[in-house]
Amino acid sequence: MRRALFLLTTAHALDWVNPKYWQLQASTAKLVSACIGRGSTVLEVDAVDGAKNLYYLPMGCTITQWLNPQEAAKDIGPTKMAASKNGQGLETVNARDNGRKAPRLQPESFDACLMFGALARAAPRGPDAVFETCDAALRALKPDGRLVFVERTDDAELLLATALDDSDLVADCESSREHGAIIGVVTRGLDPAKKRKKSKKGF
């Protein structure tokens, strides 16, 4: 067990000296800046990186971090301080059922979502957990909102297919494989129920 933890810790430490890691950070920053504007409301799905991902976002954003029980137990003071220095607002919501269920989120209330490794972390709980994580994020987005994702696992394509292929809320998805990861953006479509209402009214 100790050896496994040592190898895991070493792998994460080596990220910082791996050129691919920094290239991926640059690609991620470019994608976020292209998709998310100043003053946006942003949901960070299953946030485990503290303040790190706040630095991708422009000033004036209000960020809500979706926290699992381990992250919720940590002191978020440093993250709030970083947000304040960046001219951002920060709120948190806690996952339910000991992290197995998404938090209660107001539908269609966010301009954008960040989903960095969230599907890989959901995967050990099974395909339903992967779909439900993405579905909760999509439902929290406003129509035409953007879900920016980065998945670094070998089975990232399978995870994304599991999360997106059966969703009625996906209007468009663009992705590319870069620096050992799949990165991309999903555009949220109109809720199917609202589409039917508009169709009946004739506009």
Q: What is the CATH number of the domain that holds 53?
A: 3.40.50.150
pLDDT for 162 equals: 85
pLDDT for 194 equals: 61
4 in any annotated domain: no
pLDDT for 9 equals: 44
153 in any annotated domain: yes
Helix, strand, coil shares of the chain as percentages rounded to 5?
45, 25, 30
59 in any annotated domain: yes
98: domain range?
A: 18-201
Query: Rounded to whole angstroms, how far apart are CA atoms 35 and 150?
Result: 14
Per-residue pLDDT of the chain (203 residues; tens, 9 = 90+): 444 334 334 444 445 567 888 999 999 999 999 999 999 999 999 999 999 999 999 999 999 999 999 999 999 999 999 999 999 999 999 999 999 999 999 999 999 999 999 999 999 999 999 999 999 999 999 999 999 999 988 888 888 888 888 899 999 999 999 998 999 999 999 877 665 544 444 43
135 in any annotated domain: yes
pLDDT for 33 equals: 95
Query: Rounded to whole angstroms, how far apart are CA atoms 150 and 117?
Result: 6
Alpha-carbon torsion angle 8, 94, 168, 157, nearest 10: 0
| pLDDT tens-digit readout, 18-34 | 788 899 999 999 999 99
Q: How many domains does the chain have?
A: 1
7 in any annotated domain: no
11 in any annotated domain: no
71 in any annotated domain: yes
9 in any annotated domain: no
